[in-house]
Amino acid sequence: MPALSDVRAVVTGATLGLGAAMAEALLAEGARVAVAARPTPRLADRVARWQARGWAAEPLPLDVRDPASAEAAAAEVRARWGGLELLVNNAGIGMRTVNPRFFERPQPFWEVSPAGFADVVATNLTGYFLVARAFVPLFLAQGRGRIVNITMNRETMRRAGFVPYGPSRAGAEALSLIMAEDLRPHGVAVNLLLPGGATDTGMIPPEAPAAVRERLLSPRVMGPPIVFLASPEAEGLTGARIVARDWERWLADFRARGGAPAG
């Protein structure tokens, strides 16, 4: 049997970039994946392509910024599957939405519009809260479940010109750690996963310098750690922060400690 044949997962922002790479890795290992994104032709096309490969992909319309949409998606998963093993909070927007030239001309925070600031925070931070809030009752009813929140390098959280993206990701990290503690007594795990460097996704503008593009990580770097976090080996792991670029070293250390979290 495939390694994850008993796993039902929801991945937000799963039609492109990191989300698509993680959804594909889970599907390839036999998981059933609800591909959560706004209901556009891109969602239908992505799901159709995965289904054509014999994978158990299903569309799940979801706007992470809308509380009603998050609640409706959770109700749909409950009705469709009856339960859930894994929620991956990944949907996000980057600096291009507030400063298309952020690589060549970093913008100081006082030049960022209030609307641009609110837009990024609404997706990258509030969206994680709204989606987790909608799905957690399903986990609590089961007495088990796993949440993985996608974040970024801490250097990004303090880099000049990275308002509001940096603060939105810093907030998501704090939210994740508090979620882990709130859910620990209920048997629900919350872990953080990040690529470990700039990644070749739609958040990087095409005109980015060649020196930058040459260093970009492939989104597929997220595949092995997300499969691990959905697997039996990750049972009981919560509050961890895993850097995908350093995945092999992290896993070796984890196994050397007998599966105990660091620290």
| CA separation for the pair 122, 117 (Å, rounded) | 9
The percent of residues above 90 in pLDDT, for the chain, comes to: 75
> What pLDDT band is residue 261 in, cutting at 50, 70 and 90?
low
- pLDDT at position 98 is 78
pLDDT tens-digit map of 226-241: 999 999 999 999 999 9
45 belongs to a structural domain: yes
- pLDDT at position 210 is 63
1 belongs to a structural domain: no
- pLDDT at position 200 is 66
- The whole-angstrom distance between residue 87's C-alpha and the CA centroid of its chain comes to 9
| CA separation for the pair 136, 87 (Å, rounded) | 9
Q: How many other CB atoms sit within 10 Å of the CB of residue 41?
A: 7
Question: Which residues 6+ apart lie within 8 Å of 76 measured at CB?
Answer: 60
Choice among 165, 228, 247, 250 that is catalytic: 165
58 belongs to a structural domain: yes
Decide if 128 is catalytic. Answer: no
135 belongs to a structural domain: yes
Can you give the CATH number for the domain in which 129 is found? 3.40.50.720
Element spanning 131, H or E: helix 127-142
Residue 213 has pLDDT above 80, yes or no: no
- pLDDT at position 4 is 96
200 belongs to a structural domain: yes
- pLDDT at position 97 is 82
Domain of 19?
8-256
72 belongs to a structural domain: yes
pLDDT tens-digit map of 34-71: 999 999 999 999 999 999 999 999 999 999 999 999 99
2 belongs to a structural domain: no
Question: Which residues 6+ apart lie within 8 Å of 241 measured at CB?
Answer: 151, 173, 191, 192, 193, 194
**Counted domains in the chain:** 1
- pLDDT at position 106 is 82
Residue 29 has pLDDT above 90, yes or no: yes
177 belongs to a structural domain: yes
Mean pLDDT over 79-87 rounds to 97
| CA separation for the pair 116, 88 (Å, rounded) | 25
Cβ 94 vs Cβ 52: under 8 Å: no
Which amino acid, one-letter code, is at 39?
P
Q: Please, what is the average pLDDT of the chain?
A: 91
pLDDT tens-digit map of 129-186: 999 999 999 999 999 999 999 999 888 888 888 898 899 999 999 999 999 999 999 9
- pLDDT at position 215 is 72
